[in-house]
Amino acid sequence: LVFQLGQPRIWMSMSRDGLLPGIFSRIHPRFHTPSFATVVTGFVVAVPALFMNLTEVTDLTSIGTLFAFVVVCGGVLLMDRTRKVEGAYMVPYVSARYIVPLLLAGILAYTIIEEAEAWKAFLEWGTGHSFFEWSLFQHKIPYLIFGLTALVVAVLSFRYRLSLIPVLGLLSCLYLMSELGYTNWLRFVIWLGIGLVIYFGYSRTNSKLVDGG
């Protein structure tokens, strides 16, 4: 229900920015709600729910929401802290230079000691005489993505003194995404691909944000 109420308004805002066709920002004259976007959202939510079980729907919803949080945290890190925008909220700055590398190193050391069997199972990518089996490796891809990203973020935090709050937000959300499994990641990548096609096919050339409009 929350997404049913929120998604039409997201599409309405995107339409007003030129990222979606103008019909998505159409407001109902009586109810003053984004009518077309609400109807489309209803179909997008209801039709897949007829063919998927509730767990698949909720997991796909969760991974999409978490990725949105990851993008927001990443966007905050990319913003220029020296530029002041009137009326804009400024995230309190705490340097992540030492905290994040030490925190990740501590977590890694703790899990190696306390979860030795889990690490052993994670590092086994094959069975018997086979060193590598895709059926085993594919389920570890989300964790590898998280591990590599955490390593890169730790290095960047130390080198560029990144802000602690968005760094922790990015890493925590990405970790929760890694817990959702390979199948959900595959579905998410397909859904993301559809979104990128729409962006490069329509939104990029029609965006009002390009010229500051």
**pLDDT tens-digit map of 188-204:** 999 899 989 988 888 88
C-alpha distances (whole Å) from 61 to each of 55, 58, 66, 180, 200 are 10, 5, 9, 11, 23
Phi, then psi, of 64 in degrees rounded to 5 = -65, -40
Examine the pLDDT at 80 and tell me if it is beyond 80. Answer: no
* Mean pLDDT, the chain, whole residue set: 87
Between CA 91 and CA 81 the distance in angstroms is: 9
Residue 33 — left, alpha, or beta (φ > 0 → left; ψ -120 to 50 → alpha)? beta
Between CA 25 and CA 28 the distance in angstroms is: 10
Examine the pLDDT at 211 and tell me if it is beyond 70. Answer: no
pTM (two decimals) = 0.84
